[in-house]
Amino acid sequence: MRHVVTRAAADESREPAGRRTSLSPVRPARPAPGASVRVVLADGNQTLRFALRAALAIAPGIEIAAEAATGDEAVEQVMLHRPDVLLLDVRMPPLDGLALIPRIRHVTRVVVLSGAEDPETILRAVGSGARGYLVHGEFEPGELINVVTGTARGRTFLSPHAAAILVDRIQDHHGQADPGAKLTPREREIMNLIAEGLPNWQIAKYLVISEKTVKNHICNIYRRLDVAGRRQAVAHWLSR
């Protein structure tokens, strides 16, 4: 696909149909080889639902099981038809579409299709259990066929904007969890000495380098840790 970033997901086992309930803590089963991928379309905008149906109708291996215009209808149709994939908008009056995901994630795989591209919405969708997030305008209608069939078989699909937000959040979280990851080995060594209370001249003597070099390293440390001075740097460093 040209516009969509994909990532292979781990294999998932099929749960016997007789044991599956809406409360079962299992992942949705993959469609049997050769079987059609069954989809529910959930969007409060009738025009968009029509466009989604038209884009998927040309694929012989995809079956539109039902459509839903509200959040209540979406839950009802998912529980009734147990589709392989639910294409869900974030705004499903009168409910918040994202609030539905935890309720149905063990019954079907959810792909969010939305014009919302703010980080909070995207992170909430993925954190709630969505297997994909596509921002309108970042994918072609014809690409939905690959998204639907791939999602049914365990893959994850993210539009470029959504993928970038997830990468930024992971990197920010990693940096907050370990300030040392942002520093070079020498800078970490100097920061440890600063945290012990050594002044610059003693650090220079201990490391057998000039005091000017120590000051240059400290300037870099402040910049990398995004702190204003020595006291703030120590507090940030000791919070690891």
Per residue, the 3-state secondary structure of the chain, as one string, reads CCCCEEECCCCCCCCCHHHCCCCCCCCCCCCCCCCCEEEEEECCCHHHHHHHHHHHHCCCCEEEEEEECCHHHHHHHHHHHCCCEEEECCEECCEEHHHHHHHHCCCCEEEEEECCCCHHHHHHHHHHCCCEEEECCCCCHHHHHHHHHHHHCCCEEECHHHHHHHHHHHHHHHHHHCHHHHCCHHHHHHHHHHHCCCCHHHHHHHHCCCHHHHHHHHHHHHHHHCCCCHHHHHHHHHCC
Task: List the chain domain ranges.
Answer: 5-172, 178-238
Hey, which residues does 38 pair with through a beta bridge? 63
Two tokens at 199?
A: 């002044």
Q: How far is CA 115 from the centre of its chain?
A: 16
Q: Give pLDDT, residue 181.
A: 74
Average pLDDT over every residue of 55-68: 93
Strands 91-92 and 95-96: antiparallel
Task: Quote the radius of gyration of the chain (alpha carbons, Å).
Answer: 25
pLDDT in tens, 150-195: 999 999 999 888 888 888 777 666 555 566 777 888 898 999 999 8
Backbone CA torsion sign across 232, 235, 239, 240: positive
Alpha-carbon 93 to chain mean position: 24
Q: Closest Cα partner for 83 from 54, 40, 33, 35? A: 40
pLDDT of residue 239: 67
Identify the bridge partners of residue 63 per DSSP, sorted by sequence position. Answer: 38
Tell me the percentage of the chain whose pLDDT exceeds 70: 84
pLDDT of 21 strictly over 90: no
Residue 222, token pair as written in the block: 């402040």
Question: With the C-alpha atoms ordered 64, 70, 74, 76, is the resulting torsion angle positive or negative?
Answer: negative
* Tokens 């049997």 belong to residue: 32
Q: What is the mean pLDDT of residues 183-211?
A: 90
Amino acid found at 194: I
172 exposure class (CB count in 10 Å sphere: 0-12, 13-18, 19+): exposed
Pick the CATH number of 178-238 from 3.40.50.300, 3.90.79.10, 3.30.43.10, 1.10.10.10: 1.10.10.10
Do the beta carbons of residue 162 and residue 135 sit within 8 Å? yes
- The pLDDT tens digits for 42-61 are 999 999 999 999 999 998 89
CATH assignment, 5-172: 3.40.50.2300
pTM of the model: 0.62
State how beta strands 85-88 and 109-114 pair.
parallel
Residue pointed to by tokens 């291996």? 61
